[in-house]
Copies of this chain bind each other. A is one copy, B any other.
Amino acid sequence: MSGFSHVASNGKANMVDVTEKSVTTREAVAESYVVMNAEAIALIQAGNHHKGDIFGTARIAGIQGAKKTPELIPLCHPLMLTKVAVELELQPEQQRVRIETRCKLDGKTGVEMEALTAASVAALTLFDMCKAVDPSMRIEGTRVLTKTGGKTGAWSHPL
């Protein structure tokens, strides 16, 4: 007995059987940060003043990434997201961009992996667009903030 739901007692990776689970409305919120130097921060500020394509591109990539979760994470179930939201906020005093994602569905499994994948792909896309100016960026603090729905009900990150 492994304690991990995705690992059977014989140690083999395992897709959890959710056939018998009930369909409930489930929601998860996740966040991630891209930490970058002052030059990159200044260029994002200047860019968003005009057209917003930097954050807009990362937002679209994050939404598309959420839909690709079952292709990327081997033991995730395919599911039908009813809502994906990706927001980016420049926090210049901390020299970082904060990404917050929200996924929803009516279904049998939670959507925290979808929210985390959306945040990670948005962060990677931001990294790709800024790496010529600051190749030393770091993606930090990717985590689940809250989730609701399912048997376990509401959960918030303790920190």
Contacts and interface: CB of A to CB of B under 8 A. Distances in A.
A132 B16 CA distance: 11
Contacts of A133: 3-4
A28 to B, nearest CB: 10
Interface string A108-145: 10001100110011011101111111011111111110
A96 interface: no
Contacts of A84: 15
Nearest to A16: B83
Interface string A60-95: 110111011011111111111111110000000000
A127 B144 CA distance: 10
Q: How many copies does the complex hold?
A: 6
Interface SS, A side: mixed
A129 B52 contact: no
Contact of A136 (B60, B135, B140, B159): B159
A154 interface: no
Contact of A143 (B5, B14, B75, B136): B136
A11 B51 contact: yes
6 contacts: A10-B51, A12-B51, A16-B83, A18-B83, A19-B83, A74-B125
